Amino acid sequence: MRLRTRIMTLLMAFALTPIALAQSDMTAAADGQYVPRLGDIMNAIQTRHMKLWFAGKSSNWGLAAYELGQLKAGLVEAASMYTGIPATNVNTMGEPVQSISDAIEARDGRRFSKAVDELTAGCNACHRSMERDYIVIRVPDISPFSDQVFAPQNKH
């Protein structure tokens, strides 16, 4: 009976090891709170980048402003949680973000497109500087958000 219990205990330990390792791979803050991985933050930023583009392209300036705010918050979050990102990478994103904000405020589609191109180039420059040149972002051409309407809706 004891041998059987020991064998079952060993089997359980082996079965649970991958789960324990996966959980230990999560980054934890000093106070024990979960900190998202940089890749997860960047995926959220990439989603905001796409939504920002489709909102601006549809002249939905309210949604574009919202998505830009969310994108900025993601960049700030990444920079504050991952101090290994050079300050110059973070600072160089400020100019294109401001250009997008100005274009949204002016409701200027041409300026908006140019500014998003600059932001996209900044993303790729940051990836290259971090030796992640295999991550290349582009302005999207097809929306993966078939469940969201980007065109402005008439107010009743």
Using one digit for the tens of pLDDT, what is the confidence trace for 45-71?
999 999 999 999 999 999 999 999 999
Residue 23 has pLDDT above 60, yes or no: no
Counting the structural domains of the chain, the total is 1
On whether residue 97 sits in a domain, the answer given is yes
Residue 37 has pLDDT above 60, yes or no: yes
Q: Which domain holds residue 51?
A: 37-129
On whether residue 109 sits in a domain, the answer given is yes
User: What does the pLDDT look like over 96-123, one tens digit per residue?
Assistant: 999 999 999 999 999 999 999 999 999 9
On whether residue 48 sits in a domain, the answer given is yes
With CA atoms as reference, report the closest residue to 51 among 37, 77, 70, 76: 70
On whether residue 87 sits in a domain, the answer given is yes
On whether residue 10 sits in a domain, the answer given is no
On whether residue 21 sits in a domain, the answer given is no
Structure token digits, residue 84: 């290994």
Helix (H) or strand (E) holding 110: helix 109-129
Helix (H) or strand (E) holding 21: helix 2-24
The CATH number for 42's domain is 1.20.120.290
pTM to 2 decimals? Answer: 0.78
Residues 6 or more apart in contact with residue 40 via CB below 8 angstroms: none
On whether residue 140 sits in a domain, the answer given is no
Structure token digits, residue 148: 């969201």
Mean pLDDT of the chain: 85
On whether residue 147 sits in a domain, the answer given is no
**Backbone phi, psi, residue 66, to 5°:** -60, -50
